[in-house]
């Protein structure tokens, strides 16, 4: 590969791809408003912006999924137009999505050559596929993967490698990675870093889309910021700091995002005493009425397992749980709901909403499912419920799948408010929600706490967790690693969560 290395700040770096003045509207609503982006060979270019800023749409334009309404796509000094993703691939542009496009039961080599299998004497040439796959893996320095293993047996991180090799084998020169760390465990992120750097060193242009400032600053040489579909800035990473980037993204100072904290928490609503099961152990903590207690921890530290245990999906097997001072055994979601525990799960579409049903039916779902008689039939307060969570829908009869992420999440909250829980657990409540709706959700959660609810909030976004919580409980390897007061800084939380560095 004859590649001229583009270094940040160099006079005339080689732009492999240039997007100029890209505009795109859906049904008259502009999603991209004149966005410029150029990708150089051998650079990691970070693309950041809040949800709804247009990152995905821009990626889809780059990948040939959407045709821009205006603007030019220039590949190696030649204007092109992509009618389909196939055309983009032919120009060497491949998107690595969060969800992999691998066939689990085929081998690594078979996946790499899927649909373009080399043929020898009328049969698929397995040997050639495996040799070429081996060569690409070696080129990337990934010698831990065998071309002949079936993909199902690989870790998520290695599947990602296979996905990349698949792109490379099709002569990709530009890799756009959409939130590549979203599916990775924390120890795998380092491996990805290594991989991204090797790809860069080998002259591949990498567009790195991520929410996580740390990754953006660790990896990228330039950063492009989008806001509300418009290009805000593009600057060398060295000239920016995280605070500036966030300000560009949000367009306002961050503090305003979070409501005021609780002044005086009330009585203990839920108390765990030495509670544990297969996944978590020896949990002892209280949450009071009026409090928002954050539950922090790395992925796999048992954060969500605590929630699922309290809620009875995987109940505690040891210790006790008291609700308002009364020892309670929760054996399943049904008892949990009836005892006044609500759980906004992480997986909104899989566990939170019946997507083809109406806003109305989803809002009344918990009440109908868990209550009896007149209470289950009660629906006169629907308007008040929807109003209190400020759902924006065409009508209560609109199917929830047509709502935006933020409005869907509000419906999920409304569903729980309909049964007035005493304890509400929210797991990643703002995932996939744009910044305006985030703020509304934060306010709403705080109002609920002020009305006497005890709220346990789980989030992997530390700023949000710190901004919202009155106290932070940090989990490590299935147990509580410590408790921090409101306003603890990220380093302290991470130190406790990882067990490294100076603990607070």
Q: Determine if 336 is a binding residue for another protein (CB under 8 A).
A: yes
| Residue linked to tokens 């966030």 | 246
CA distance 371 to 57: 43
Instruction: Please give the DSSP secondary-structure letter assigned to residue 33.
Output: E
Q: Determine if 425 is a binding residue for another protein (CB under 8 A).
A: no
Contact 407, 389 (CB under 8 A): no
Binding mask 78-97 for another protein (x = CB under 8 A): --------------------
List Cα–Cα distances, 257 to 59, 86, 94, 164, in angstroms: 28, 42, 36, 37
Q: Determine if 305 is a binding residue for another protein (CB under 8 A).
A: no
Contact 304, 425 (CB under 8 A): no
| Cβ partners under 8 Å of residue 308, min gap 6 | 314, 343
Size of the site for another protein (CB under 8 A): 51
Residues between 401 and 420 that touch another protein (CB under 8 A): 402-405, 415
Of 220, 174, 216, 181, nearest in space to 64 by CA? 174
Of 195, 220, 231, 294, nearest in space to 58 by CA? 231
| Cβ partners under 8 Å of residue 410, min gap 6 | 389, 390, 391, 437, 440, 441, 444
Tell which one of 74, 250, 313, 494 touches another protein (CB under 8 A).
Answer: 313
Q: How many CA atoms lie within 13 A of 227 on its CB side?
A: 14
Tell which one of 185, 234, 355, 479 touches another protein (CB under 8 A).
Answer: 355
Of 285, 339, 337, nearest in space to 456 by CA? 285
For the record, the structure tokens of 355 come out as 């997507």
For the record, the structure tokens of 396 come out as 């209560």
The minimum distance between CB 366 and another protein, in angstroms, equals: 4
The minimum distance between CB 363 and another protein, in angstroms, equals: 11
Q: How many CA atoms lie within 13 A of 350 on its CB side?
A: 3
| Cβ partners under 8 Å of residue 244, min gap 6 | none
Q: Determine if 460 is a binding residue for another protein (CB under 8 A).
A: no
- Hey, how many other C-beta atoms are within 10 angstroms of the C-beta on 207? 26
The minimum distance between CB 92 and another protein, in angstroms, equals: 25
Of 16, 180, 10, nearest in space to 95 by CA? 180
Tell which one of 239, 351, 447, 491 touches another protein (CB under 8 A).
Answer: 351
Residue with Cβ nearer another protein (103 or 354)? 354
Applying CB under 8 A, which part among 124-132, 158-166, 332-340, 459-467 lies near another protein? 332-340
Of 89, 104, 286, 50, nearest in space to 174 by CA? 89
Residue with Cβ nearer another protein (214 or 368)? 368
Residue with Cβ nearer another protein (270 or 353)? 353
Please, what is the end-to-end C-alpha distance for the chain in angstroms? 51
Applying CB under 8 A, which part among 23-31, 156-164, 235-243, 244-252 lies near another protein? 23-31
Q: Determine if 328 is a binding residue for another protein (CB under 8 A).
A: no
Applying CB under 8 A, which part among 195-203, 274-282, 391-399, 494-502 lies near another protein? 391-399
Q: Determine if 432 is a binding residue for another protein (CB under 8 A).
A: yes
- Where are any strands of DSSP class E within 318-453? 318-323, 326-328, 341-344, 423-427
The minimum distance between CB 63 and another protein, in angstroms, equals: 14
The minimum distance between CB 64 and another protein, in angstroms, equals: 17
| Cβ partners under 8 Å of residue 301, min gap 6 | 475, 476, 477, 478, 497
Applying CB under 8 A, which part among 4-12, 15-23, 114-122, 362-370 lies near another protein? 362-370
Residues between 27 and 46 that touch another protein (CB under 8 A): 27, 29, 31
Applying CB under 8 A, which part among 139-147, 254-262, 396-404, 459-467 lies near another protein? 396-404
Q: Determine if 364 is a binding residue for another protein (CB under 8 A).
A: yes
Applying CB under 8 A, which part among 15-23, 133-141, 329-337, 475-483 lies near another protein? 329-337
Applying CB under 8 A, which part among 265-273, 360-368, 421-429, 482-490 lies near another protein? 360-368
CA distance 469 to 262: 9
Tell which one of 356, 451, 491, 499 touches another protein (CB under 8 A).
Answer: 356
Applying CB under 8 A, which part among 5-13, 169-177, 238-246, 397-405 lies near another protein? 397-405
The minimum distance between CB 428 and another protein, in angstroms, equals: 14
The minimum distance between CB 288 and another protein, in angstroms, equals: 25
For the record, the structure tokens of 162 come out as 């296979």
Residues between 48 and 67 that touch another protein (CB under 8 A): 51-57
The minimum distance between CB 392 and another protein, in angstroms, equals: 10
Residues between 175 and 234 that touch another protein (CB under 8 A): 229
* Contacting positions for another protein (CB under 8 A): 26-27, 29, 31, 51-57, 229, 313, 333-334, 336-338, 343, 345, 350-357, 361-362, 364-366, 368-370, 376-377, 379-380, 382-383, 396-397, 399, 402-405, 415, 432
């Amino acid at each position: 590969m004859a590649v001229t290395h583009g270094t940040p700040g160099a006079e005339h770096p080689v732009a492999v791809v240039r997007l100029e003045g890209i505009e795109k509207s859906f049904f008259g609503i502009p999603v991209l408003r004149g966005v410029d982006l150029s990708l150089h060979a051998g650079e990691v270019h970070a693309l950041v912006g809040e949800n709804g800023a247009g990152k995905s749409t821009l990626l889809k334009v780059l990948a040939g999924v959407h045709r821009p309404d205006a603007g030019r796509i220039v590949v190696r000094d030649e204007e092109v137009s992509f009618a389909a993703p196939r055309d983009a691939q032919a120009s060497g542009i491949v998107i690595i999505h969060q969800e992999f496009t691998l066939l689990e039961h085929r081998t690594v080599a078979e996946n790499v050559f899927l649909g373009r299998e080399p043929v020898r004497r009328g049969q698929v040439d397995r040997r050639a596929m495996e040799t070429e796959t081996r060569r690409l893996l070696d080129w990337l320095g990934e010698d831990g993967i065998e071309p002949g293993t079936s993909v199902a047996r690989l870790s998520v991180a290695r599947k990602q490698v296979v996905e990349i090799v698949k792109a490379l084998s099709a002569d990709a020169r530009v890799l756009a990675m959409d939130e590549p760390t979203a599916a990775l465990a924390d120890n795998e992120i380092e491996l990805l870093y290594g991989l991204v750097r090797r790809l860069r060193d080998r002259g591949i242009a990498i567009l790195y889309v991520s929410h996580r400032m740390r990754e953006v600053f660790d990896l990228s040489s330039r950063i492009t910021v989008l806001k509300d579909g418009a290009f805000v800035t593009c600057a060398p990473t060295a000239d920016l700091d995280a605070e500036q980037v966030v300000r560009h993204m949000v367009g306002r100072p961050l503090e305003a995002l979070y409501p005021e904290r609780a002044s005086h928490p009330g009585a203990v609503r839920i108390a765990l005493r030495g509670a544990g099961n297969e996944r978590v152990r020896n949990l002892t903590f209280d949450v009071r009425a009026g409090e928002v207690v954050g539950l922090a921890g790395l992925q796999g530290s048992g954060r969500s397992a605590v929630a699922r245990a309290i809620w009875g999906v995987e109940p505690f097997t040891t210790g006790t749980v008291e609700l308002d001072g009364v020892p309670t055994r929760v054996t399943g979601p049904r008892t949990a709901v009836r005892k006044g525990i609500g759980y906004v799960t992480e997986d909104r579409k899989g566990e939170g909403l019946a997507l083809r049903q109406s806003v109305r039916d989803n809002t009344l779902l918990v009440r109908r499912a868990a209550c009896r008689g007149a209470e289950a039939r009660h629906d006169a307060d629907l308007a008040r419920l929807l109003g209190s969570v400020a759902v924006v829908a065409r009508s209560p009869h609109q199917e929830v799948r047509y709502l935006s992420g933020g409005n869907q999440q509000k419906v999920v909250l409304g569903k729980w408010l309909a049964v007035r829980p005493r304890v509400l657990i929210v797991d990643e409540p703002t995932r996939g929600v744009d910044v305006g709706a985030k703020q509304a959700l934060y306010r709403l959660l705080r109002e609920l706490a002020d009305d006497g609810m005890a709220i346990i909030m789980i989030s992997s976004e530390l700023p949000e967790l710190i901004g919202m919580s009155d106290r932070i409980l940090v989990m490590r390897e299935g147990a509580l690693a410590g408790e921090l007061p409101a306003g603890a800084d990220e380093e302290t939380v991470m130190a406790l969560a990882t067990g490294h560095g100076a603990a607070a």
